Every structure is written in C-alpha cells, then in structure tokens.
C-alpha cells in the first residue's frame, strides 16, 4: 500500500462513520423521531415500488409521482412506469404497507414510519395519508456522492403535532388561475400541509361560478373566475395529495363584488362596481332582510354540494358598520329586536348563516370577529388580529386556528414566522384548552401579487410555517431552519413552482434583455418594504397596476444580507480576520457595482427609480470598507468621519421604489463599534 492509499484507508475508517452520524438533515418539516444508521441504500434503475394492504388510489398516484421525481433528479431510467395494485411486491425495494384508505378530513391519521436500510426501504402507515407524508420525507432524504445517488440508513417515526396545517390563497384581489393553484398544492403536499383555504369572494372579485345566481360571477369577476368543473378538478387534485379544500365566502363585509349583480343584498342602494382598490370598504350585506337569507340559503346550498369538506369559511372580518349605521331600516330593526350594537347584529347574521350551514351538513369557520357570546362553541375561530384571540376562544370553548404571525404577505423574515407558535411552550392554557387549538394557516393575500410573483411570496417561507405546525414544539433552531429551508426551496422547484426561476426572468425584463449581473448584485440585497408600508409611500396600487418593478422582483428575505449582517456581528464579537475578509469582499463588490449598473439603469426607464439607491449602496460600501479597516487596525475614527458616516447610513436607510437596502444594519453596527471607541 502506498502512502496515499494508507491515508485514504485511514480517512475512511475515521471519517466515514463520523459522516454517517452527522448526515446533513435536509428534512422539513423535521420528523418526530429520527435515528440515523451508518450505511446507505443505493438508488439504481432497478428501483421499484410496491403498495401492500388497503389504500385509496391516491397512494398509488403519489408513489408514481415520487418515482418520476426521483427519475427526474437522478436521470435514472427506472423500468417501472406506473405503480398499480398489480405491481409485484416480493422484489420491490420500496415496500409501502398501508392499513386502510383515508378520508381527507380533519383529524385523519397521517402518521407513518420509514425505515431505510442497505437493501430495502419500508414505509408503513395506518391511512394512505401517512404514506403520502412518508413519501415526501423519502424524497427529501435523497443525496449523492462519488458512488451515485443514495438514501442514508435511517429509522423515522413521524406524526403531525397539529391536525390543521393550512395555506390561504386569495384569488380575488388578483386573479390566480388553475395552474397557480395546482403547483402550490404540490408545494403544500411536499411540506405536509393539509388544508387549502380558498379565499373565493371579495370586494375585488367573485371568483367562482354559481349556476343558481350566475350574475354573481358574470358581473363580479371581469370574466376571471373558476368554473365548477375547474373547482372539482382542484378538489380532486388536492384530495389526491391529502389536502382538504375549504372555500371562504366572505360575508357580510368584503362583499362588494356580490352586489354588482345583486345590489338587493346590500345595506345601501348602490349601484355597485367591482372594487379596484384595497382596504376596508363600506358595502355590506343587509342582515335584517329575509331575502338575504333566502339568497344565501340557495347559494350556500349550491356550494355545499360542490365542496366535500365538512367545514366552510364565512369570513366575517372587517365589517366597519358604516352602511348599517346609515340605514334607517336596519337601525329600526336593531331597536325592535334589542340588538345593542353592530357586533351583536353580525352575531345574529352569523347564527342565521350557521343554521343554513348546519342544514347542509357543514361546520362554520370564520375570522376572529365572529367570536361572540351568542355563538355556539362548535365553530372554528381563525385568529388574525392577534394571538390573544386564539387564547380567548380556546378558553371560551371554541376550536381555533392561528394566522396572526403567519401573514406571509407582510414580507417578514422566515425566522419571525418560524418562532410564532400556536401553543408556545409557556402557554398558560390548560391541556383541554390547548387541545382546542387545531393548528394554523399561512395567508397569501393577493393585493400585491400576480401569477408571476405569487410563488415567491409563498415559498420558501411557508415551508417553515409548515414545520412549525407539524414538528415537535422543541424544534426551533433558527440557523438550522435556514440551512434546511434553502435545500427545500430548491426541491420545490421540481414541482413547477416559480419562486426561484422567475427572479432572473423578471430582472431580465427590467434590463430590457441586457446582462442582469449588476442588477442582481443590487437586488440581492434589497427587500420590499414591510407590513403595509408599500401602500403608504405615494403610490396608489389598484387591481391593474404593474407588478413588474424591482420591488416585485426582490425576494421577501435577502439571504445575502442575512449572511453579511451575521458576518459583521461575528467580526465585531471576536475580530476574526476571516469574517473581515468576507465583509470586505462584499463591500468591494457593492462599491464597484454602481458604475456598471448605472449604464443599465440609464437605458431602462423602469429602473430609474432605483438609481439613487444603487449609488447609496456604493457609498455605504465605501464607508463600510473604511470602518472595517479602522477596526482591524485598532484605530479610532475622526469625529468628522463619524458624522459623515452617519449621514451615509441615514441616506442608505431611506426606502426607494418601495424597497429597502438590507445591509444598512450591518454597516451601522460597524460605525457604532467605531463610535464607541
């Protein structure tokens, strides 16, 4: 044995077992229990799958899709094409053993166990939903090395923490067609989410065909609505992925689009047109007319036939009461019936609607405004205004789901959503009260998204909310979450999601098909302004405003800025030269970028609004370079230099084009450290 071979042999002896014990876990959500083995299961074209036991067709479909995804990633030509009940089981390397077909309903068993050894993979589940969840785990386990593709040996026992793990998609403020919904359902399934909350009616659009009242969609949608055949297609598609579909028909407020064709439902005479702007509007249904309930009985009866899930969402949010207050008939009705205020009037309305839903075998879900002592406790309260509403409803005996803190349209970092727990470990609720909290939902409100940008506002951040709702409460290591989120984000692309690829495409359009390199360096450290600031900076967005500017291309969370700011923090902690080199390298890139970007900006009028911010990034980088050099040399800064640096920081901190430079914070830290010297 020559010396190299000896070293290689020693390396294998020492390092390989170590490696086997510290697999990079790229699972999201993290399973309940996981024990790594030391070997690997090698994936070859011989790989086949068989399903044993009793399963709904969806498990065969899911197994077939898993096979296609493995084939797509690896380029392996598997002999097996479709997995059916006829697929041979004795020789199959992946055996799926399922006890019974599932019903896609609240509380269905989704547990599974997955055992990978060197020769075979066993996926066992009670219901086929567990099989679906386990297949997604298996797909996330795939790795590669010099010998090819493999699954690491592992034993996983897994089940969700919460039974309700949802994503709301608003298709009203901006129309989002069938293919957008389908690819997002695939994304949800990949991270084990199981409720698609379909926000179908709004001030800005009535997005579902009604055969009973066709004027609703014909006049309320600009022609952008889902036919009932498409709705069935979505329900089937979701069901095939173990996802419940809960439609929301928002009432009595947020209902302007209903009144375009049916002004007689409203509390003020109209006429009405589709609302093009955002916010809380005055139009509201008239809860004092019997006609309203006759109409809603027929409409909800039609919808109850269409949607199989036991739950139906009636909205109930943000009724400002303006038209109720102004309507003499409604005021008289309230007096005659001892209804003290608008909240009580809405509770009266909700109870009438509840009777209708109950008649059609449905249970009610609504936003936290429906919480009222006049409401029975067998309804589900969705808390959006604050976690205290979830606590309050659980204490009063209601079931609840959390959305406050999961508003992904507010463009907050993944970390913020990730640490937001429906039942935090320090919760003061009793065990019985805790058990009423069913889970949560991320909400993709659509004021500022289009089919082109919506995926990037949903993914990858929604994956960390999915983990919060599935994984044990103790799983909350933020750094590890970000590491895994990056891996999962990339995998989500294979489902057709556009959150990564549309970035380059949008930048290309912004440059008019010039080189996007310099623009990317710049936009990589930008984020859209947070919360609802985008509506408060001098631009009035409407339903048909362009969503193609830099702010729309910029990602909700800049990973470059995060890494840069972290390197600054480490450098300030221990003066590490490696971190200094990282931040100096970034400063040089940003300093040089402006000259190159400027020629692109000059040639692309859509980019003009960003010129001064690009200049500010270069100035910021120059200041940062000087600050780092001073700190490294252990020198002090002149007072006049510090004054100037503060001016640069303040300038760079001002949003432009509704975006913010996310690296200002790191440079500010450097300046503060110098100022303290």
Judged by CB, which is closer to ligand ACM: 58, or 197?
A: 197
Beta carbon nearer to ligand ACM, 226 or 384: 384
Nearer to ligand ACM, 256 or 288 (CB): 256
Residues 30-69, interacting with ligand ACM (CB under 6 A): none
- If the CB atoms of residues 448 and 674 are measured against ligand ACM, the closer one turns out to be 448
For residue 400, give the DSSP letter.
E
For residue 309, give the DSSP letter: S
Q: How far apart are CA 152 and CA 144, in angstroms?
A: 10
Is the distance from CB of 527 to CB of 411 less than 8 angstroms? yes
- C-beta of 369 vs 455, nearer to ligand ACM: 369
| CB of residue 172 to ligand ACM, shortest distance in Å | 12
Q: In whole angstroms, how close is the CB of 101 to ligand ACM at the nearest point? A: 35
Tell me how far, at minimum, the Cβ of 369 lies from ligand ACM, in Å.
8
* Nearest distance in Å: CB 360, ligand ACM: 24
The minimum distance between CB 444 and ligand ACM, in angstroms, equals: 11
How would you classify the pairing of strands 143-145 and 205-206?
A: unpaired
In the complex, least distance from residue 662 CB atom to ligand ACM, rounded to whole angstroms: 26
Distance between CA atoms of residues 69 and 494, nearest Å = 8
Among 225, 249, 278, 384, binds ligand ACM (CB under 6 A): 384
Q: Which of the residues 506 through 565 are near ligand ACM (CB under 6 A)?
A: none
Closest by CA to 156, choosing from 6, 16, 33, is 33
Q: How far is the CB of 318 from ligand ACM (least distance, A)?
A: 5
For helices 178-190 and 461-470, the axis angle rounded to 10 degrees is 50
Could you tell me the smallest distance in angstroms from the CB atom of residue 288 to ligand ACM?
24
DSSP structure class, residue 310? S
Least Å distance between CB 243 and ligand ACM? 21
Best CA proximity match to 408, nearest among 397, 423, 420, 395 = 420
CB-nearer residue toward ligand ACM: 176 or 583:
176
* Cβ distance to ligand ACM smaller for residue 191 or 408: 408
Name, in order, each residue with C-beta under 8 angstroms of 446's C-beta and a sequence gap of 6 or more: 169, 170, 171, 172, 173, 174, 176, 409, 454
Lookup: tokens for 559: 């990973």
How many residues contact ligand ACM, by CB under 6 A? 4
Closest contact distance (angstroms) between CB of 105 and ligand ACM is 24
- Rounded Cα–Cα distance for residues 673 and 677 (Å): 7
Which residues within the stretch 318-357 sit at the binding site for ligand ACM (CB under 6 A)?
318
Residue 288 C-alpha from the chain's centroid: 38
Q: Between 386 and 397, whose beta carbon lies closer to ligand ACM?
A: 386
Query: Closest approach of Cβ 384 to ligand ACM, in Å?
Result: 4
CB-based burial, 86-114: b 16+ in 10 Å, e otherwise: ebeeeebbbbbbbbeebebebebbbbbbb
In the complex with ligand ACM, the residue whose CB is nearer, 318 or 452, is: 318
Which 291-320 residues touch ligand ACM, going by CB under 6 A?
317-318
Distance separating alpha carbons of residues 571 and 563, to the nearest angstrom = 12
User: Distance (Å, rounded) from C-alpha 199 to C-alpha 204?
Assistant: 12
Q: Compute CA distances 32 → 139, 510, 620, 658, whole Å.
A: 17, 45, 45, 41
Beta strands of 22-129 (E only): which ranges? 33-42, 49-53, 94-100, 112-116, 121-127
For ligand ACM, which residue has the nearest CB? 317
**57: which residues sit within 8 A by CB, 6+ positions away?**
none
The catalytic position among 52, 99, 157, 318 is 318
Place of tokens 């979505």: 234
Does residue 179 have an active-site annotation?
Answer: no
Q: Residue 406 or 418: which CB sits closer to ligand ACM?
A: 406
Residues 6+ positions from 598 with CB-CB distance below 8 Å: 611, 614
367 binds ligand ACM (CB under 6 A): yes
Distance CA 418, CA 674 (A): 34
CA 466 – CA 136 distance, rounded (Å)? 13
Cα separation, 248 vs 280, in Å, equals 17
Whole-number Å distance between alpha carbons of 171 and 166: 16
How is residue 525 annotated by DSSP?
T
Query: Is the CB of 239 or the CB of 253 nearer to ligand ACM?
Result: 253
Cis peptide before 672 (omega within 30 of 0): no
Q: Which helix (H) or strand (E) covers residue 645, if one does?
A: helix 639-652
Instruction: Identify which of residues 164 and 367 has a Cβ nearer to ligand ACM in the complex.
Output: 367
CA distance 288 to 660: 48
Lookup: tokens for 673: 């450290």
Quick one: which H or E segment has residue 618?
helix 611-632
Instruction: Enter the tokens of residue 60.
Output: 């065969």
Residue 656 phi, psi (nearest 5):
-135, 140
Q: Does 389 bind ligand ACM (CB under 6 A)?
A: no
Q: Least Å distance between CB 461 and ligand ACM?
A: 17
Other C-beta atoms closer than 10 Å to the C-beta of 605 total: 9
Residues that bind ligand ACM (CB under 6 A): 317-318, 367, 384
Task: State the catalytic residues.
Answer: 318
């Amino acid at each position: 044995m020559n010396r190299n071979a000896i070293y290689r042999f020693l390396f294998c002896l020492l390092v390989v077992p170590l490696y086997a014990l510290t697999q990079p876990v790229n699972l999201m959500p993290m399973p309940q229990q996981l024990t790594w083995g030391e070997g690997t299961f090698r994936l070859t074209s011989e790989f086949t799958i068989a399903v044993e036991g009793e399963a709904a067709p969806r498990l065969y479909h899911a197994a077939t899709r898993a096979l296609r995804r493995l084939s797509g990633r690896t380029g392996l030509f598997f002999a097996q094409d479709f997995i059916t009940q006829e697929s041979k089981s004795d020789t199959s390397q992946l055996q799926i053993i399922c006890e019974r077909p599932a019903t896609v309903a609240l509380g269905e068993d989704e547990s599974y166990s997955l055992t990978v050894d060197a020769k075979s993979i066993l996926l066992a589940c009670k219901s086929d939903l567990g099989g679906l969840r386990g297949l997604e785990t298996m797909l996330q386990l795939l790795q590669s090395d010099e010998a090819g593709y493999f699954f690491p040996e592992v034993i996983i026992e897994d089940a969700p923490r919460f039974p309700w793990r949802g994503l709301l998609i608003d298709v009203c403020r901006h129309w989002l067609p069938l293919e957008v919904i389908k690819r997002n359902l695939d994304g949800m399934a990949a991270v084990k989410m199981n409720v698609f909350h379909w926000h179908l009616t709004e001030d800005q659009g009535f997005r579902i065909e009604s055969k009973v009242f066709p004027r609703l969609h014909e006049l309320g949608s600009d022609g952008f609505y889902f036919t009932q055949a498409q709705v069935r297609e979505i329900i089937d598609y979701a069901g095939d992925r173990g996802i419940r579909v809960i439609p929301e028909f928002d009432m009595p407020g947020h209902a302007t689009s209903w009144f375009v064709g049916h002004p007689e439902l409203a509390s003020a005479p109209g006429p009405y047109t589709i609302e093009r702007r955002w916010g809380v509007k005055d139009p509201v249904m008239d809860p004092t007319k019997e006609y309203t309930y006759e109409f809603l009985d027929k409409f909800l009866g039609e919808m109850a036939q269409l949607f199989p899930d036991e739950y139906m969402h009636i909205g109930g949010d943000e009724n400002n009461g303006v038209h109720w207050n102004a309507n003499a008939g409604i005021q008289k009705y309230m007096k005659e019936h001892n209804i003290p205020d608008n909240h009580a009037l809405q509770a009266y309305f909700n109870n009438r609607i509840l009777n209708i839903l109950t008649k059609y075998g449905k249970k009610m879900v609504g936003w936290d405004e429906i919480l009222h002592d006049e409401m029975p406790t067998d309804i589900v309260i969705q808390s959006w205004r604050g976690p205290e509403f979830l606590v309050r409803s659980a204490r009063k005996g209601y079931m609840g789901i959390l959305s406050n803190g999961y508003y992904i349209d507010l463009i907050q970092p993944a970390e913020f959503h990730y640490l937001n727990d429906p039942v935090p470990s320090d919760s003061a609720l009793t065990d019985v009260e805790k058990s009423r909290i069913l889970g949560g939902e991320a909400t993709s409100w659509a004021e500022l998204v289009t089919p082109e940008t919506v995926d990037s506002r949903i993914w990858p951040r929604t994956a960390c909310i999915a983990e919060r709702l599935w994984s044990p409460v103790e799983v909350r290591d933020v750094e590890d979450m970000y590491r895994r989120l990056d891996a999962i984000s990339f995998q989500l692309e294979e489902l057709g999601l556009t959150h990564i690829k549309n970035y380059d495409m949008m930048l290309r359009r912004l440059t008019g098909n010039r080189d996007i390199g310099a623009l990317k360096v710049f936009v990589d450290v930008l984020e859209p302004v947070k919360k609802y600031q985008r509506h408060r900076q001098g631009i009035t967005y409407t339903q048909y405003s362009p969503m193609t500017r830099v702010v729309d291309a910029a990602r909700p969370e800049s990973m470059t800025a995060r890494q840069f700011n972290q390197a600054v923090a480490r450098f300030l902690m221990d003066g590490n030269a490696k971190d200094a080199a990282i931040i100096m390298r970034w400063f040089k890139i940003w300093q040089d970028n402006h000259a190159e970007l400027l020629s692109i900006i000059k040639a692309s009028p859509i980019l003009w609004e960003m010129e001064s911010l690009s200049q500010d990034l270069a100035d910021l980088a120059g200041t940062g370079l000087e600050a780092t050099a001073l700190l490294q040399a252990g020198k002090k800064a002149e007072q006049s230099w510090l004054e100037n640096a503060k001016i640069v920081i303040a300038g760079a901190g001002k949003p432009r084009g509704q975006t913010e430079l996310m690296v200002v914070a790191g440079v500010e830290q450097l300046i503060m450290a110098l100022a303290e010297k």
